[in-house]
Amino acid sequence: SAGKVVIVNLIPGAADVEVTEGNLTFCTGDQVVLKSNKTAGNQWYKNGVIIDGATSQSYTANESGTYTVVVTENGCPSPASAGKVVTVNLIPGAADVEVTEGNLTFCTGDQVVLKSNKINGNQWYKNGVIIDGATLQSYTANTSGTYTVVVIENGCPSPASAGKVVTVNLIPGAADVEVTEGNLTFCTGDQVVLKSNKTAGNQWYKNGIIIDGATLQSYTANTSGTYTVVVTENGCPSPASAGKVVIVNLIPGAADVEVTEGNLTFCTGDQVILKSNKTAGNQWYKNGIIIDGATSQSYTANTSGTYTVVVTENGCPSPASAGKVVTVNLIPGAADVEVTEGNLTFCTGDQVILKSNKTAGNQWYKNGVIIDGATSQSYTANESGTYTVMVTENGCPSPASAGKVVTVNLIPGAADVEVTEGNLTFCTGDQVVLKSNKTAGNQWYKNGIIIDGATLQSYTANTSGTYTVVVTENGCPSPASAGKVVTVNLIPGAADVEVTEGNLTFCTGDQVILKSNKTAGNQWYKNGIIIDGATLQSYTANTSGTYTVVVTENGCPSPASAGKVVTVNLIPDAADVEVTEGNLTFCTGDQVVLKSNKTAGNQWYKNGIIIDGATSQSYTANTSGTYTVVVTENGCPSPASAGKVVTVNLIPGAADVEVTEGNLTFCTGDQVILK
């Protein structure tokens, strides 16, 4: 029969379902998305019942139940997939919140306790922001804000409760109190006005006790105590202000005054001491006017007037004491004294006449000591001292006149002069130092004529003459000192030196003769150092150095002559010669190179005869002979070097060669003999 094609289709395997969005357990109003791993042929079921139209790869579930999917391929349905159990929990209702302690409006530092009607699952919020850790049924609030609670049941949060509005009013800062009138410390019968910086809400206290009715911004205090104010704002009382301590002091009674020294009537320049019976707080007055700085228990009065004292105790002045009347009689003015003859300063044996401008009542004093019998208008003084005069009028002595200081100076003795440096006889350009034995007041003279500016203790003389010194002490000149006679001799001119034999520059072993143009008094020097015994007119020098001569005439040495510089050069050692190329014996046409160990100054010789132009360090010899070299350094030639003997041999003529046996051309194994 015709073949029947049987096709057997496989039943597909159960699909795998995954959650692609959301969770299997959620709250009312939420959902979960389930997805089959098969892209086509899906049919979704809830609790085993087909869901009409649910044939997509994904299914969105929003109700509780067990969800599966069956996949049909080629008409064959698969087994149901493993069920996905979806649980939808109800959202709980909003909680009710009550106040269990305190009030919703209170002051800083207070609080209110809020309580949810839900025992568990509470989460408190302030102004819609979660409060960390606030999960109890009750919450204690101490800051302003709107408080709500959300209750979570089975993972589902309720709506927020109705808000409880908490208002925390700030406690006002303590008021500042100022004194607007008077002082905090005052006397009985006075007062002080205190003022708060707060315009309203004030309550005044004294010593911490409320003052009834004292609620104004200012308070007038007239009794001692510590005053504070408390300010209430929005029902919240401030801390008490800093206390103002008011002290009310009693007024003391009037003081008693006594005279403790002197009399109430006296002369100008005298005084009387008045004393209060109060040890402290005194203020003295004259004629009702305060005396600045007079605050001691006693007061010394030296001018006429009525004196009282007021005593202040704790800032409160007493009435004035009974007045003490002081009378001061004038003291005559001090006399003026003039010099009518002579000067106040003079030398022994002189005098000065002093005269008072007062015709009567004079009494003269010397150094403050009365001069017996010296009561005239004029006084003649001949001794040192301070002279004054006092004039007495109406029983009151004047002050002493300004002192006239009389100074009687002694005439000093003649100074002694000594020579402290040099000699009285010396050469031009030298000097002698003369010294007075007086440290000050010196004036030097030469030949009896004053030397301008020469007033020091010492004088340096550099010219001939007789020198004296006069010393003035306190304006009195001494006699002139004994004269010192100074003699200055001329220094001779420097000698001229000539070379009379030889040259200034020469080699070791030679010499030069130098000659002074002075016939006597010569002394030769080498490099500035005296040459012992070299005192002749000529000197023979054989060593290097600068030679000078000094000529002495009348004991005065001349300057050194211009130096003659002698240079003695060493004779160099004989050079060493070596062969640097070739041999000393060679054939005609060859050569040998000789080399000196001296790099410069070489002169080559052959058989003792100079070789013209041969002055290099090396010399090339090509003829027989004995070769030497002489080296010149600083103009001095060395001995000749040891001779190098060069021998040049002749080359013989070319030989003749003949064939003695055989031929020049032959076969291998044969030979030819050349001769």
Q: Residue 303's pLDDT band (boundaries 50, 70, 90)?
A: very high
Q: What are phi and psi of 283, to 5 degrees?
A: -140, 120
- CATH of residue 456's domain is 2.60.40.10
Q: Is residue 12 part of a domain?
A: no
155 or 662: whose pLDDT is higher?
A: 155
Q: How confident is the model at residue 235, as a pLDDT?
A: 87
Torsion over CA: 102, 103, 107, 112 (sign): positive
Q: Which domain, by its residues, includes 651?
A: 570-675
| Claim to verify: residue 655 and residue 577 sit in the same structural domain | yes
Q: For residue 99, give the 3-state DSSP assignment.
A: strand
Encode 107-128 in three state secondary structure: ECCCCEEEEECCCCCEEEEECC
Alpha helices in 371-436 (DSSP H): none
Q: How confident is the model at residue 665, as a pLDDT?
A: 66
Radius of gyration of the chain (CA): 71
Q: What are phi and psi of 621, to 5 degrees?
A: -105, 135
| Claim to verify: residue 76 and residue 137 sit in the same structural domain | no
Task: Note the pTM of the prediction, 2 decimals.
Answer: 0.37
**Does the structure show a pLDDT above 90 at 331?**
no
Q: Is residue 657 part of a domain?
A: yes
Which range has the worst mean pLDDT, 66-70, 255-259, 367-371, 666-670? Answer: 666-670
Q: Residue 570's pLDDT band (boundaries 50, 70, 90)?
A: very high
Beta-carbon neighbour count of residue 302 at 10 Å? 13
**Does the structure show a pLDDT above 90 at 5?**
no
Q: Residue 7's pLDDT band (boundaries 50, 70, 90)?
A: confident
| Claim to verify: residue 648 and residue 574 sit in the same structural domain | yes
Q: How confident is the model at residue 256, as a pLDDT?
A: 96
Domain boundary among 569, 601, 623: 569
Encode 33-77 in three state secondary structure: EEEECCCCCEEEEECCEECCCCCCCEEEECCCEEEEEEEEECCEE
Domain boundary among 89, 112, 143: 89
Domain boundary among 489, 510, 526: 489
Q: How confident is the model at residue 659, as a pLDDT?
A: 82
Q: Is residue 4 part of a domain?
A: no
CA distances from 296 to 272, 276, 318, 607 (A): 15, 9, 16, 133
Q: How far apart are CA 102 and CA 162, in angstroms?
A: 19
Q: How far apart are CA 317 and CA 308, in angstroms?
A: 13
> Do the beta carbons of residue 121 and residue 149 sit within 8 Å?
no
| Claim to verify: residue 371 and residue 454 sit in the same structural domain | no
Q: Is residue 621 part of a domain?
A: yes
Bridge partners of residue 233, in order along the sequence: 236
Q: Is residue 270 part of a domain?
A: yes
Q: How confident is the model at residue 62, as a pLDDT?
A: 95
Q: How confident is the model at residue 351, as a pLDDT?
A: 94
The pLDDT of 49-65, averaged and rounded, is 97
Q: Is residue 565 part of a domain?
A: yes
HSE-CB at 100 with a 13 A cutoff on CA atoms is 11
The pLDDT of 220-230, averaged and rounded, is 97
> Do the beta carbons of residue 455 and residue 442 sit within 8 Å?
yes
Q: pLDDT tens-digit profile of 503-544? A: 999 999 999 999 999 999 999 999 999 999 999 999 999 999
The domain tally of the chain equals 8
Q: Residue 668's pLDDT band (boundaries 50, 70, 90)?
A: low
Residue 354 burial (10 A CB sphere; 0-12, 13-18, 19+): buried
**Does the structure show a pLDDT above 70 at 667?**
no
| Claim to verify: residue 514 and residue 564 sit in the same structural domain | yes
| Claim to verify: residue 374 and residue 388 sit in the same structural domain | yes
Q: Residue 4's pLDDT band (boundaries 50, 70, 90)?
A: confident
Beta-carbon neighbour count of residue 466 at 10 Å? 13
Q: How confident is the model at residue 672, as a pLDDT?
A: 72
Q: pLDDT tens-digit profile of 305-329? A: 999 999 999 889 999 999 999 988 8
| Claim to verify: residue 357 and residue 402 sit in the same structural domain | yes
Span between the terminal Cα atoms of the chain, in Å: 137
Q: pLDDT tens-digit profile of 174-183? A: 999 999 999 9
Q: How far apart are CA 436 and CA 473, in angstroms?
A: 14
Q: pLDDT tens-digit profile of 626-651? A: 999 999 999 899 999 999 999 999 99
Q: Is residue 641 part of a domain?
A: yes
Q: How far apart are CA 632 and CA 637, in angstroms?
A: 4
Q: Is residue 366 part of a domain?
A: yes
The pLDDT of 115-130, averaged and rounded, is 97
Q: How confident is the model at residue 286, as a pLDDT?
A: 98
Q: How confident is the model at residue 666, as a pLDDT?
A: 59
Q: pLDDT tens-digit profile of 460-513? A: 999 999 999 999 998 889 999 999 999 998 899 999 999 999 999 999 999 999
CA distances from 635 to 291, 505, 573, 605 (A): 113, 9, 13, 18
Q: How confident is the model at residue 654, as a pLDDT?
A: 85
Q: How far apart are CA 345 and CA 336, in angstroms?
A: 19
Q: How confident is the model at residue 670, as a pLDDT?
A: 67
Angle at 163 between CA 160 and CA 167, to 5 degrees: 150
Q: pLDDT tens-digit profile of 377-408? A: 999 999 999 999 999 887 788 899 999 999 99
**Does the structure show a pLDDT above 70 at 669?**
no
> Do the beta carbons of residue 266 and residue 329 sit within 8 Å?
yes
Q: pLDDT tens-digit profile of 571-595? A: 999 999 999 999 999 999 999 999 9
Q: What are phi and psi of 246, to 5 degrees?
A: -100, 130
Angle at 280 between CA 276 and CA 282, to 5 degrees: 55
Q: pLDDT tens-digit profile of 549-562? A: 999 998 899 999 99
Q: How far apart are CA 551 and CA 512, in angstroms?
A: 21
Q: How far apart are CA 536 and CA 46, in angstroms?
A: 157
| Claim to verify: residue 223 and residue 320 sit in the same structural domain | no
